[in-house]
Amino acid sequence: MGNSALRAHVETAQKTGVFQLKDRGLTEFPSELQKLTSNLRTIDLSNNKIESLPPMIIGKFTLLKSLSLNNNKLTVLPEELCNLKKLEILSLNNNHLRELPSTFGQLAALKTLSLSGNQLRALPPQLCSLRHLDVVDLSKNQIRSIPDIVGELQVIELNLNQNQISQISVKISCCPRLKVLRLEENCLELSMLPQSILSDSQICLLAVEGNLFEIKKLRELDGYDKYMERFTATKKKFA
């Protein structure tokens, strides 16, 4: 991509607050964007070949609300990313991330986090510090179990489809706002699914197809009728 084309994109972004440059084969984060650290509200660099984010620049986008880097080659995120105090949407699907920065809990405004198709092996505990987080997508990773700390999550929707989960802490029933739990295509035995999810939680949509049990067996469990009451009430609300 020529310099003049990039310059034109930068000039447009200066006026609109939106910088979008997808499918351009970029191998690095455009350094030209450092001129716009106080302008940009949205950056979308999806479908490129970016391997890292520049620590000296990335934390300076003080107004940034949405950052998308889906389908790149990121292996690690710099701690400086966590300085983005206004960031509400972070989309990093299909990269090579194994973990999140220890300071990730500082992204206080974050509402939507998409990390599908990475190499996470555990539920990142930093997510439990994020009080405004509504939706988290951790599908298509390598997560094997859900630990007790999950009970502190504030999310409304948690997508864990297509992992390798065989164990879930009963604490998942304590999530105060969790309404939608997606666990399709994991390694769950029915005996490993906490019954309190059905009988004693806020969850009104539980998706568990493609595990090591038949769905009809789920319907025989104690508490399933309570779950169906919540499911039906929610369905009516949106009908």
| Structure-block tokens of residue 2 | 């020529």
Predicted confidence band of residue 212 (pLDDT cuts 50, 70, 90): very high
89 has pLDDT over 90:
yes
Per-residue pLDDT, 239: 64
**Cα dist from 170 to 166, 173, 184, 204, whole Å:** 13, 6, 18, 16
Tell me what the mean pLDDT of segment 225-236 comes to. 93
Predicted confidence band of residue 196 (pLDDT cuts 50, 70, 90): very high
Q: Which helix H or strand E contains 3, and what residues bound it?
A: helix 3-16
List Cβ neighbours of 21 (8 Å cut-off, separation of 6 or more). 6, 9, 30, 44, 45, 48
| Structure-block tokens of residue 217 | 């067996």
Mean pLDDT for the chain overall? 96
What is the pTM (predicted TM-score) of this model?
Answer: 0.96
Q: How far apart are CA 214 and CA 36, in angstroms?
A: 54
User: pLDDT tens, 100-153?
Assistant: 999 999 999 999 999 999 999 999 999 999 999 999 999 999 999 999 999 999
Per-residue pLDDT, 2: 59
45 has pLDDT over 70:
yes
203 has pLDDT over 70:
yes
**Domains in the chain and their CATH numbers?**
67-237 (3.80.10.10)
DSSP string, 57-114: HHTT-TT--EEE--SS------GGGGG-TT--EEE--SS------TTGGG-TT--EEE
List Cβ neighbours of 202 (8 Å cut-off, separation of 6 or more). 175, 176, 177, 178, 179, 230
